[in-house]
Structure 1
């Protein structure tokens, strides 16, 4: 219901600042123009992702476009239409903005962007975006050394959609890491086993939604996550053979 969205769209974002004005218009022509603009912004995001982590100025570009998307979504919502495309793309921009801030050690701003992205993904029922945003939130609280929050977010990944094996696998990987931080060896190892089993059972639909979990790259990611969990467990328990 568009009438329920203003609370999700309040404010330009954690860093404030002005956003460019994009008209919403009405009718078929406006709908085509909206679709073309969304397509263009999706292409821009792909370019920014390729370069953002190597160039300091890219965070400004990502956040500026994100604030513009939020304003555009508010305008569409005010016109009585659900800003589905704007919120869906906004969640992706928010994720990139959060990762850039996390890379710079700006934990509070990163979490704020992830939180915005999560609310926008929820508003348009974007399950893959919800799962990956919760994954980033797991990483963020792990850097802060908070196992209880990490376990909560990790369980949230598993609750996104029980039909998606890749989200269950991702949940188990983060649950293993969270239990490792808390020094719970039995639960850590149990979730490692579940994650390995889930990874081996990923199907075509899973890999279409999460291509980064396919093939050698996916196996390397899983092995890296498991290795990190075992290292955290060794530190937490003082048992270097863990």
Structure 2
């Protein structure tokens, strides 16, 4: 059932939608399974008989499977991008028919995010940013706040790897501006702003955002955990400590502050405990 691997249903959110059995997925998608294959045509010809919701559920289930395996198998990026292109074409067909391709664009943003992460893992910065940009545009088209926030967080990581703290700070502030009512977004924003200020050597601002992030994380509620399950419990604490450790490590490198280096070691150790 959805959500799976952090993926909500693109039509019904966290309502607990059922997904097709794994054996049904290749037939449902009219060709490619998780191993890849030709880009499918959905919503036209004989494929139009498949209920739109069922097909979107199936595509979401496939993406969840790919997420579980993608970073262990080199060929998965081809499968993700092939399905993403088919999904984008389907969205175009729905739009041409005079309907907003709401579910297609929401799911397309999730596929684009995974494609961008896979390219980022391979050091392909330009391709990764292009996919994140597509995902952000699709998320904005259907006002998907959660997708916008997580895509901006990935863009923060990407520009940090590219050595651009000022651009990172801009994206990080953008996360907090998506929806001020969602505490998990504010917490993410503070974590990335802490890292951006660390790279710039601004110790006071870095420490201020670390404190805000810790406070925000402690105040996350059930709705935050439902929307961002990776921010809940021990996994969430590990992510926060890891992010803080990275910020303090960057600050120590930028300023030569030995106290920051010691705190970085402590935070990193907690994240691995």
Same fold (TM over 0.5): yes
What is the CA–CA distance in structure 2 between the aligned matches of 1:40 and 1:172, rounded to whole Å? Answer: 35
What is the CA–CA distance in structure 2 between the aligned matches of 1:44 and 1:153, rounded to whole Å? Answer: 30
Contact 1:13 1:113 in 2 (8 A): no
Contact 2:28 2:50 in 1 (8 A): no
Contact 1:73 1:83 in 2 (8 A): yes
- In structure 2, the CA distance between the partners of 1:49 and 1:16, relative to structure 1 (3 Å rule), is closer
- In structure 2, the CA distance between the partners of 1:2 and 1:57, relative to structure 1 (3 Å rule), is closer
Give, in angstroms, the shift of residue 26 of structure 1: 9.7
- In structure 2, the CA distance between the partners of 1:14 and 1:97, relative to structure 1 (3 Å rule), is farther
Give, in angstroms, the shift of residue 20 of structure 1: 2.6
- In structure 2, the CA distance between the partners of 1:31 and 1:82, relative to structure 1 (3 Å rule), is farther
Moved over 3 A (4+): 1-19, 25-32
Partner of 1:225: 243
Give, in angstroms, the shift of residue 19 of structure 1: 3.6
Matched residue pairs, number? Answer: 238
What RMSD in Å do the two structures reach over aligned CA positions? 6.9
Instruction: Tell me the SS of whatever aligns to 1:28.
Output: helix
Give, in angstroms, the shift of residue 21 of structure 1: 1.8
What is the CA–CA distance in structure 1 between the aligned matches of 2:139 and 2:213, rounded to whole Å? Answer: 25
What is the CA–CA distance in structure 2 between the aligned matches of 1:192 and 1:124, rounded to whole Å? Answer: 32
Contact 2:172 2:193 in 1 (8 A): yes
Contact 1:180 1:229 in 2 (8 A): yes
What is the CA–CA distance in structure 1 between the aligned matches of 2:24 and 2:146, rounded to whole Å? Answer: 22
Contact 1:5 1:77 in 2 (8 A): no
| TM-superposition CA deviations, 1:38-70 (whole Å, max 9, x none) | 111001000000000000110000000000000
Scaled by the length of structure 1, the TM-score of the pair is: 0.88
What is the CA–CA distance in structure 2 between the aligned matches of 1:210 and 1:198, rounded to whole Å? Answer: 14
- In structure 2, the CA distance between the partners of 1:81 and 1:15, relative to structure 1 (3 Å rule), is farther
What is the CA–CA distance in structure 1 between the aligned matches of 2:69 and 2:235, rounded to whole Å? Answer: 20
- In structure 2, the CA distance between the partners of 1:145 and 1:54, relative to structure 1 (3 Å rule), is same
Contact 1:18 1:67 in 2 (8 A): no
Return 5+ residue gaps in structure 1 as ranges.
Answer: none
Alignment pair present for 1:32 and 2:83: no
What is the CA–CA distance in structure 2 between the aligned matches of 1:127 and 1:210, rounded to whole Å? Answer: 12
Contact 2:34 2:76 in 1 (8 A): no
Give, in angstroms, the shift of residue 231 of structure 1: 0.3
Give, in angstroms, the shift of residue 106 of structure 1: 0.2
What is the CA–CA distance in structure 2 between the aligned matches of 1:130 and 1:4, rounded to whole Å? Answer: 31
- In structure 2, the CA distance between the partners of 1:104 and 1:15, relative to structure 1 (3 Å rule), is farther
Scaled by the length of structure 2, the TM-score of the pair is: 0.78
